[in-house]
Amino acid sequence: MSTLRKIYVETLGCQMNEADSELMLGLLAREGFAPTSDPESADLLILNTCQIREQATGKAFSQLGRWAKLKRKRPHMKIAMAGCTAQQAGDSVFKRAPYVDIVMGTQNIHDLPKLVRRAFDDERHVIAVDRQKEKSTFDYFDQVSIPQVRQDNGVSAWVTIIEGCNYFCTYCVVPYTRGRQISRKPESILDEVQRLAEAGYKEVTLLGQTVDAYGHDFNDRRYDLADLFEAVNAIDGIERIRFSTSHPLDLSDRIIQAVADLPKLMEHIHIPMQSGDNDVLHRMRRGHKADEYFTLTDKIHDRITDVSITGDYIVGFPGESNEQFMNSVYSVGRSGLYMANTAVYSARLQTPAAIWETRYEDQAVSDELKQERLQTLNEVVRKQAASQNLAYEGQTVEVLVEGPSRRNPQRLSGRMRNNRMVNFDTDQAPASLVGQLVNVNIVEANDFSLLGKL
C-alpha cells in the first residue's frame, strides 16, 4: 500500500482494548495509514469491541450500522470489527452485518496488516479468529519493536503485562474471548516503559484482566508483580505507577507491601468483589467469601496510608434474593470502597449462568428489579464517595496534571496519588502545567471529584 490512507479506530470497553487499539494504529502506520478523528474521511474504519455485557455487544452492532451508511457514500471504504465480540461471533458477523470487510479476534492483532491488504485487494469477508491456546500476542510483539501509536494525553500510558484469565467465573466470557493467562516477559515490559520515559511520559498503568497473577505462569524464573513493580520503580523519568485489575485471590502480601513501600507506586487498588453474599459468590465461582474480601481490604487500609480501594459489582445475578442483594449494599461500607463500577447482570454465551437464567425461570431476576437494585447500589456508592471526599477539603494534595477539565476547559484536571480526580483553577498558562506534578489546595468536595486551586 504505497498511497497514504486514513484510518479511524473507535474503542469500546476496557483499558486492555484501548491498549490493543494503539497497537493496531501502530501496525497500520507501517502500512501507510495515518490516524484521523473524522470517520467520514477514513479509508478504513476499525471498531474494537467489548463482549463483557449484552449492552456492549448491541452498541457495537449499532455503531457498525451507522458506519454502513458511510460506506454506501464511499464504497471503497473498508470496515473491520476487532476485539472480544469479533472473537466470539466469528463469521456470524458477516451474516448480521454483511457490509463488514474484516473480522479479527483478540489474539490476531499481529495479522492485521495482511488482513487489511487482502480487504483492499477486494477479497470479501476476511477473517482471523484462530487463536491458539498455547500462543500469545506477546510471542509476536516480544520479538519486534512494539509499534503503538498512542492515543493518550502524552502524560499517562497503558502497558499490557498479562492477557487472559484462568478463573472461569460463571458469568464471564473473558476466558473464552481472551484465552488463558499468559504473562509478558519482564524484559519486554521494561523496554517499553523505558521508551515511554524517554518520550516524556510521567505515568504508566500496568494492565491485565488479572494483573496481580502476573508471572504465575513463568516456567523459567520466579518473578511476580512485586518484582516488576521494583524494576519499573527504578526507571528514571517515570513518576507514577498504577495497575489494574486485581483478583482477590492473587493480591499477595508482597504486592500490598510494595504499594506501601515503593514511592512511585500509587495508593490505589482496584479489586472486584462482584457480590457481598457468600451464596452468590459461590454460584459466581469467584473463589472467595465476603469475609475473606473484607480481611483483604482491612489489610490494605491498615498498611497503606490514604489508599483508595475501588471495586466492581453485578446486581441481579440469577437467583439473587433481596437479602443477598442487601449484603452487597452492606459490603460497600464494610470494605471502605471509594468507588465501584456497577452493572446489571446480562447473560453471555458459553457461560453457565446464562444457562441457569434461560433454563430455570425461577433463577431469573426481572429487568425492573435489576434496575431498581442498580439505582439503590449506585446511591450507596455515591454517598460513600462524597463522604470520603469531604475529608480532603482544606488539604493540599499532589496532582499529576493530565489536561483541561472535560466540563470546564478553563480549568485543569488531574489525579491524586490515590486516583481521585481533581479539577482546579490556576493563574498560570495551562499548557505549561500539563504533565507536571503540582500542589493543589482542595476548596470543595463533590461526589466523585474534588475542586481546588493551584
Residue predicted with more confidence, 392 or 136: 392
What domains are defined for the chain?
5-128 (3.40.50.12160), 152-266 (3.30.750.210), 271-390 (3.30.750.200), 396-453 (2.40.50)
Residue predicted with more confidence, 357 or 254: 254
What is the C-alpha separation between 373 and 39, in angstroms, rounded? Answer: 38
Strands, DSSP E only, in 44-93? Answer: 44-49, 78-83
CB-CB contact of 128 with 105 (8 Å):
yes
Confidence of residue 2 (pLDDT cuts 50, 70, 90): very low
What is the C-alpha separation between 305 and 317, in angstroms, rounded? Answer: 34
Question: Residue 145 pLDDT > 70, yes or no?
Answer: no
What is the C-alpha separation between 260 and 108, in angstroms, rounded? Answer: 38
CB-CB contact of 168 with 285 (8 Å):
yes
Look up cell 513463568; give the residue: 218
Q: Pick from 184, 191, 203, 159: which is nearest to 23 by CA?
A: 159
Confidence of residue 178 (pLDDT cuts 50, 70, 90): confident
Instruction: Give the per-residue pLDDT at 228.
Output: 98
- 39 CB-contact burial (10 Å; exposed 0-12 / middle 13-18 / buried 19+): middle
Confidence of residue 141 (pLDDT cuts 50, 70, 90): low
Q: How far is CA 358 from CA 85, 323, 351, in A?
A: 21, 23, 11
Question: Residue 396 pLDDT > 80, yes or no?
Answer: yes
CB-CB contact of 128 with 104 (8 Å):
yes
Q: How far is CA 309 from CA 42, 255, 328, 350, in A?
A: 41, 14, 16, 31
Q: b/e for 208-243, b at 16 or more Cβ within 10 A?
A: bbbbbbbbeeeeeeebbbbbbbeebeebeebbbbbb
Strands, DSSP E only, in 107-215? Answer: 126-128, 156-160, 162-163, 182-183, 203-207
Provide DSSP, 211-277. GGGTTTT-SS----HHHHHHHHHTSTT--EEEEE---TTT--HHHHHHHHH-TTB-SEEE---B-S-
- Give the mean model confidence (pLDDT) for residues 205-218: 95
Instruction: Give the per-residue pLDDT at 350.
Output: 81
Query: Could you tell me the three cell numbers for 166?
Result: 484462568
% the chain with pLDDT above 70: 95
For the segment 20-62, what is each residue's pLDDT rounded down to a tens digit? 898 899 899 989 999 999 999 999 999 999 877 777 788 899 9
Query: Could you tell me the three cell numbers for 387?
Result: 463522604
What is the C-alpha separation between 310 and 317, in angstroms, rounded? Answer: 20
Instruction: Please confirm whether the linkage preceding 245 is cis (ω < 30° from 0).
Output: yes
Provide DSSP, 280-295. HHHHHT-S--HHHHHH
Q: Which helix (H) or strand (E) holds 326?
A: helix 322-334
Termini Cα distance of the chain: 50
Instruction: Give the per-residue pLDDT at 146.
Output: 60
Length of the chain equals 454
